[in-house]
Amino acid sequence: MDLIRRKHLCLIAFFAGVIIIGTLMLKLPFVTHVTGISWEDAFFTAIAATCVTHMGNLSTAGFNLPGQLIVLILLQIGGLGMMSLVASVVIMMRGIKAGENIVLGAPRSMSAGKMEKLLRTVITYTFIIEAIGFVFLTGTFWLQKDFNFLTSAYYGLFHSVSAFCNAGFTPFNDSMMTVTWIVKLIISFLVLAGGLGFYAVFDLWESFHERGKLLINTKLILIASAILVVGGTLFFKALEGSNTSWMDSYFMVVSARSSGFFSVLPSLMHNNSTLVIMLLMLVGCSPGSTGGGIRTVGASLIFLTILNAFKGNVRLLIFKREIPLRYALKSFAIAISFIITATVLALITAVTFDLSLKRVGFEIVSALTNCGLPWGINGKLLATPRGLIAYCMFLGRIGPMTILLFFLRERNASHLSYPKERVIIG
């Protein structure tokens, strides 16, 4: 087995190991739940927490304090672990050489010192943002809710970690349906910060200190994120009308990209609004972030490739730069893989178990993209079999990363040239 294959197995083993340890911890004698905890419940909850996908069959509010703290630890490991692991593996896999870059369209190289700084930036950024969220949420809960200071601090800590990790877990039974607009605003900030990705964070930090230009990768992330949030909010509000406030429209659009919090139940939305939420879940967050999905850069390259094709360009041009077409091909491959997987699983499940295709499709897309947005309140209302949901959550967490690592392995690529031939496409 070659080195790359072993590293793939190490990454999968890491998450599998965390899930197994989490399952055992949730079955400890001092961990309780109001409905009881079976081995199946503990395993499913551990998968959901490690994959930062709020689709557990047990409500977080039903756990006692030790149980909630175990879930919180699994969230932090699942979120931070993904960011740091991807950063470490990409760096190791590439075997960085002089003048070589790992970021799409990077005009500057990364030295060994910068690579180490990249990892430090990921960890520092995580805890600084979570600390800021903790302070603001604690103050908000203490001032606006009937909680004492210690309870407010605990809720502030839990929601800060859960929101930054784009996990959607909350000690509240109704998620964000009854909290104030200030809490929703803080939560949305943490979700966006966690979904930005370590590539963009590091580049923003370096550009600020070195007064350099942003990488194309970072520009695509920032522009795509802004378009999705602003455009999604306007579109969602137009579809829902007076049924949903502007704040709830904004919050649901931000949350749908991978966090799983909700202020409006998807089961109560219009059909068109549900479709918008599913499309946002598919796009997801940015590369190297705590969230999942096709990723903003991949979606951007797909859109820009189509736009360039309509313009008659045979090259992919962005910001006066040419992007190798292999990146566009990889983006299409990842997107189509997501869509085909979700479609096939949803159709088979709906037919086999005689379930609503709309609901099953929503739940599978939510699990596969690691969004975790539930159809109804609490995971016990899942229509899709839990084994399939667990498979989708784990596949969504490991799959995109594994695909990325396979794509980075270019040493075996064919260098042969063949004669070109035209085909008829329409």
pLDDT digits (tens, 9 = 90+) for 363-387: 999 999 989 888 876 544 577 788 8
Query: Which residue type occupies 106?
Result: A
Residue 425 lies in a domain: no
β-pair partners for 316: 323
Predicted pLDDT at 110: 53
What span, in angstroms and rounded, lies between the C-alpha atoms of 329 and 344? 22
What span, in angstroms and rounded, lies between the C-alpha atoms of 282 and 226? 16
pLDDT at 84 over 80: no
**Helix, coil or strand: residue 316:** strand
What span, in angstroms and rounded, lies between the C-alpha atoms of 139 and 149? 9
pLDDT at 92 over 90: no
Domain coverage including residue 378: 3-97+110-408
Angstrom CA distances, 177 to 103, 183, 392, stand at 39, 11, 27
Residue 59 lies in a domain: yes
Percent with pLDDT over 70 in the chain: 84
E strand or H helix at 340, and its extent? Answer: helix 325-353
Q: What are phi and psi for residue 340, nearest 5 degrees?
A: -65, -45
Output the pTM of the full model: 0.86
What span, in angstroms and rounded, lies between the C-alpha atoms of 236 and 202? 32
Query: Token match 């609004």: residue?
Result: 273
Predicted pLDDT at 58: 84
pLDDT at 242 over 60: yes
Predicted pLDDT at 106: 42
More confident residue, 343 or 426: 343
CB 45 within 8 A of CB 56: yes
More confident residue, 407 or 171: 171
CB 48 within 8 A of CB 167: no
Residue 421 lies in a domain: no
CB 375 within 8 A of CB 362: yes
β-pair partners for 33: 63
Q: What are phi and psi for residue 33, nearest 5 degrees?
A: -140, 150
Residue 302 lies in a domain: yes
Q: What is 195-229 written as a DSSP string?
A: TS-HHHHHHHHHHHHHT-PPPHHHHHHHHHHHHHH
**Pick from 50-64, 90-104, 121-135: least confident:** 90-104
Predicted pLDDT at 82: 60
Residue 134 lies in a domain: yes
More confident residue, 379 or 392: 392
pLDDT at 406 over 70: no
**Pick from 49-63, 79-93, 285-299, 347-361: least confident:** 79-93
Predicted pLDDT at 182: 94
Query: Which residue type occupies 76?
Result: Q
52 token code pair: 């930062």
Residue 378 lies in a domain: yes
Q: What is 77-103 written as a DSSP string?
A: HHHHHHHHHHHHHHHHHHT--TT---S
Query: Token match 């550009």: residue?
Result: 207
Average pLDDT on 13-17 reads 83
**Helix, coil or strand: residue 51:** coil
Predicted pLDDT at 97: 43
Residue 418 lies in a domain: no
Predicted pLDDT at 111: 55
Encode pLDDT of 281-301 as tens digits: 999 998 878 888 889 999 999
* Nearest of 271, 273, 248 to residue 177 by alpha carbon: 248
Predicted pLDDT at 381: 59
E strand or H helix at 350, and its extent? Answer: helix 325-353
* Nearest of 234, 107, 253, 110 to residue 191 by alpha carbon: 253
What span, in angstroms and rounded, lies between the C-alpha atoms of 309 and 68? 51
Residue 184 lies in a domain: yes
Total tally of structural domains belonging to the chain = 1
**Pick from 114-118, 171-175, 239-243: least confident:** 114-118
CB 397 within 8 A of CB 370: yes
* Nearest of 300, 288, 166 to residue 227 by alpha carbon: 300
